[in-house]
Each structure stands twice: as structure tokens, then as C-alpha cells.
């Protein structure tokens, strides 16, 4: 439980309330800094539009992994691996404030409980809709399943392309792959191989 708190909830609780007005003023300054005329027709409503988009793109700070995974079902009749493949997501790189997008495959070996299918994509979105780096997002998803759900083993594989590399700098679109294996998925070779095979690694 402490791991999820430090990785997710302490960050969210330390944030100030979303301030759309302050953000809009910042967008106005940005437009001026790049030499644009923020008063022209095409840009007059841009600051407000941008802040509405940012409110949605950072909505994960308002999500609690414990609430997402609160509704559980007994797993006495099922002790095999549960895997949800190719969960699409969009996130925002905290280094350049540019998007990265991809798919996550999440699997777990149940402890005493399982969760409904929709909860796994919701958990992914909870961590994706924040300022992120892919490595941390991958870890946070895995640790939430282990610590909140009490899964015996967890595997998370994330593939994503990053606009901060494709649109600037090296300008080389490429796929980044990160993984996190915990518990039985890490320690048991058979479970590890099964998950990675299902995930297409």
C-alpha cells in the first residue's frame, strides 16, 4: 500500500488546484514569446481551448488507484493469468510537455481477488493522464496492481512513440518499449515466459 501512495497519491495530493485562468495567461505569454499575435481571430480563444485540453489530459491526478480497484470478486475458482492486451493511451512527457502515445499490455496472477475487465484500462489511464515518463508510468501501473489488488504476480509491457523525439531533436520516430515484472511474474520463469509471449514481446 505504501508504494502506491508514494508513487501516485502523494504526487496528486501535493498539487495545487487546477487554475485555468493562470494557465491561459501562460499560453498568452507563450504565443507572444514565439512572435505571434494572440489577439488575431484564430488565436483569441486558443488559451481557453488549450486549458480545457490540459484539464482533460491531466485528469489522472484526480483518479485514485484504490478506488478504481475497489470493486473485487473472489478468485477461488480462477488461479490462472489474467491479461488485457493493447490498451491504447495518450500521455504527456514531463520533459518537453509533448504527447507520447502507445499501447499497454497488463497481466496479473490473482491473489484472493480479481477485478472487472474495465478496471485495467482505467488504471492505465489513471497514470497516463499525468505528466509522465514512460518508465515511471509502467512501474506505477504494476505496483498498483500488486499493492492494491494483492496480485501474486504482475506484468506490464508498454510500447509508445514520443513526439519529443519524432518532432524535434533527432527527429527519428521510433517505438520505445518498457516492462515491469513483479512477484511470480518476475521470479517464476514459466509465468514470465507466458506473459511475455501473450504480450508479444
Active-site hit among 95, 125, 126, 175: 95
Among 63, 93, 125, 126, the active-site one is 93
The whole-number pLDDT of residue 169 equals 83
Active site residue 95: yes
Residue 122, helix vs strand vs coil: helix
How far is the CA of 190 from the CAs of 37, 77, 98, 157, 186, in angstroms? 61, 21, 38, 17, 10
pLDDT, tens digit, 9 for 90 and up, residues 170-194 = 888 889 999 999 999 999 999 999 9
List domains and CATH numbers for the chain: 2-12+58-199 (3.30.1130.10), 19-56 (1.10.286.10)
pLDDT digits (tens, 9 = 90+) for 65-112: 999 999 999 887 788 999 999 999 999 999 999 999 999 999 999 999
Q: 14: pLDDT confidence band, cut at 50, 70 and 90?
A: low
SS3 (DSSP) at 128: helix
Is 162 catalytic? The answer is yes
Contact 109, 191 (CB under 8 A): yes
pLDDT at 118: 96
- Compute the distance between CA of residue 167 and CA of residue 85 in angstroms, rounded to an integer: 28
Encode pLDDT of 101-136 as tens digits.
Answer: 999 999 999 999 999 999 999 999 999 999 999 999
Question: Is residue 132 annotated as a catalytic residue, yes or no?
Answer: no
Report the residue count for the chain: 201
Could you count the other beta carbons within 10 Å of the beta carbon of residue 26?
Answer: 14
The region of weakest confidence among 18-22, 28-32, 76-80, 102-106 is 76-80
Q: Pick the catalytic residue from 45, 56, 94, 135.
A: 94
DSSP-based three-state secondary structure for 53: helix
Instruction: Indicate if the alpha-carbon torsion angle 33, 34, 37, 43 is positive or negative.
Output: negative
Amino acid at each position: 500500500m505504501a508504494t502506491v501512495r508514494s508513487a501516485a497519491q502523494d504526487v496528486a495530493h501535493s498539487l495545487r488546484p487546477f487554475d485555468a485562468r493562470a494557465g491561459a495567461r501562460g499560453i498568452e505569454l507563450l504565443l507572444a514569446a514565439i512572435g505571434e499575435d494572440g489577439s488575431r481571430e484564430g488565436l483569441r480563444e486558443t488559451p481557453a481551448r488549450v486549458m480545457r485540453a490540459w484539464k482533460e489530459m491531466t485528469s489522472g491526478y484526480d483518479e485514485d488507484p484504490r478506488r478504481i480497484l475497489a470493486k473485487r470478486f473472489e478468485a477461488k475458482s480462477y488461479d490462472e493469468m489474467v491479461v488485457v492486451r493493447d490498451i491504447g493511451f495518450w500521455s504527456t512527457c514531463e520533459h518537453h510537455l509533448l504527447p507520447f502515445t502507445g499501447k499497454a499490455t497488463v497481466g496479473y496472477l490473482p491473489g484472493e481477488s480479481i477485478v472487472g475487465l474495465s478496471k485495467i484500462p482505467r488504471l492505465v489511464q489513471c497514470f497516463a493522464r499525468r505528466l509522465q515518463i514512460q518508465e515511471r508510468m509502467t512501474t506505477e501501473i504494476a505496483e498498483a496492481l500488486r499493492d492494491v489488488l494483492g496480485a501474486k504476480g504482475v506484468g506490464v509491457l508498454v510500447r509508445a512513440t514520443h513526439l519529443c523525439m519524432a518532432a524535434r531533436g533527432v527527429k527519428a520516430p521510433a517505438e520505445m518499449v518498457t516492462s515491469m515484472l513483479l512477484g511470480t511474474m518476475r521470479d517464476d520463469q514459466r509465468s514470465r515466459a507466458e506473459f511475455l509471449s501473450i504480450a508479444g514481446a
